[in-house]
Amino acid sequence: MTAPDPRNRRGRILFAILALLLAVGVAPLVWTSYQLVARSRETVESNQKESQLDKGRLISTQVAIYVDSLRSQVAAIARTLEMGGGAAASFPERIARIRADRSLENYLRDRTEPAAPRDRTNLVFLSVVDVEGLGAQSGLALQDPRLVEQLQEAFQRGLSGTRMISVPIVSSAIQEPLIVLEEPVYAGGQVAGVVLAVASLQPLREITNLTGGRSGFDVYVIDSRGRLIAHSDKDRPLGEDLSGVEIVRDFLDQSAKMAEQPAASRATVYGTMRFKLTGADGKDRLMLGTYIPVPDDSLWGVVVQYDLERAYFYANELRRRALILVAVVTGLAVLLGSLLAGQISRPVQTLAESARRLAQGESAP
């Protein structure tokens, strides 16, 4: 009868011990580490969603307030013209007086000199025009064809008694996003003229930069076409078409569905989603972003987004350390199992050898 190979016996014992150690020590450790990392990632993502929503609501409100202040300035000028000059003064006569006194300059900020904060205004061009197209103007001479086109459209709308705010236009002359605003002026119940203004949206860039800044968030404002108005990254080209970005496309789709709803209703609609964004290096990054409509009738939106890999940094670091710990524990289990297997197999081997000799009639040593 052939004696069993001691190495096979030791291997079986070693396997049994390792299986026991792995089941009792390593497996629970792996499961616990997995749960901790998963919970950590869920917490990070939940906190990111809340933070993005808070930032988006704050910025969208600030955008609405700023644009409304511009509208109010232009409307106040129109109401002043309606009251000024006395009943005997015709509207063309009032315009002639405004042109002679250069009074429109009082409403404009001198772009060559820094204005004090309390004197700051962001109207860069102002014009008062009668129904014949004659008027007074002051401010920068902006020859951008798109601005000229929007001013002409605003004038025609003003003659029909309709207020207007244009889509944002990036000026090639001053490299700032601008909008055209218009307010009709009435005399005797009829439209007597139009106030035309061009305002800078530069403060929106400052708002997004302050909100994003060093926090790591990408914060930007887009118009109803998905074009970039302001971005927390000052190097991003204004006017860039972002309608191809998944989260912007989703915002535009939702905005189109809600276009007929009151501004207050649209402001309650927001979305949070994961999406991929191709970086400057050509690699895709997984982002988590939230879009918020601006609570007015502009159909603009605010997007706040964050790189998920960056957000998961601590969770990934926890996973890395957990894997190292599992590897160390597994190595110790193998070493301990080998030692225990040797300690157990030697007495068993001696006992088995003695039993075999007794069975064969041999005397014990």
Cβ-contact 56, 302 below 8 angstroms = yes
The rounded distance, in Å, linking the Cα atoms of 155 and 128 is 10
Q: Residue 165 forms beta bridges with which residues?
A: 181
Identity of the amino acid at 277? L
Q: Residue 221 forms beta bridges with which residues?
A: 230, 302
Q: What are the tens digits of pLDDT across the range 113-122?
A: 444 443 446 8
Q: Residue 194 forms beta bridges with which residues?
A: 129, 184
Tell me, what's the pLDDT at 135?
Answer: 87
What is this structure's pTM? 0.74
Backbone φ and ψ for 216, nearest 5 degrees, come out as 90, -5
Tell me, what's the pLDDT at 229?
Answer: 92
The rounded distance, in Å, linking the Cα atoms of 240 and 265 is 28
Tell me, what's the pLDDT at 358?
Answer: 63
Q: What are the tens digits of pLDDT across the range 95-147?
A: 888 888 888 888 885 544 444 443 446 899 999 999 888 888 888 887 888 99
- Collapsing DSSP states into helix, strand and coil, what is residue 73? helix
Q: How many CB atoms lie within 10 A of CB 113?
A: 7
If you ran DSSP here, which 8-state letter would residue 2 be given? Answer: P
How many residues in total does the chain contain? 365
First to last CA, the chain: 20
Those residues of the chain that have pLDDT short of 50 are 1, 3, 111-120, 364
Q: What are the tens digits of pLDDT across the range 150-193?
A: 999 999 999 999 999 998 998 877 888 899 999 999 988 889 99
Identity of the amino acid at 281? D
Cβ-contact 41, 316 below 8 angstroms = no
The rounded distance, in Å, linking the Cα atoms of 337 and 342 is 9
Domains and CATH numbers, the chain: 14-63+203-356 (3.30.450.20), 84-200 (3.30.450.20)
Q: Which helix (H) or strand (E) holds 40?
A: helix 27-83
Q: How many CB atoms lie within 10 A of CB 235?
A: 5
Cβ-contact 161, 184 below 8 angstroms = yes
Tell me, what's the pLDDT at 38?
Answer: 65
Tell me, what's the pLDDT at 362?
Answer: 55
Tell me, what's the pLDDT at 111?
Answer: 47
Token pair belonging to 335: 């070493």
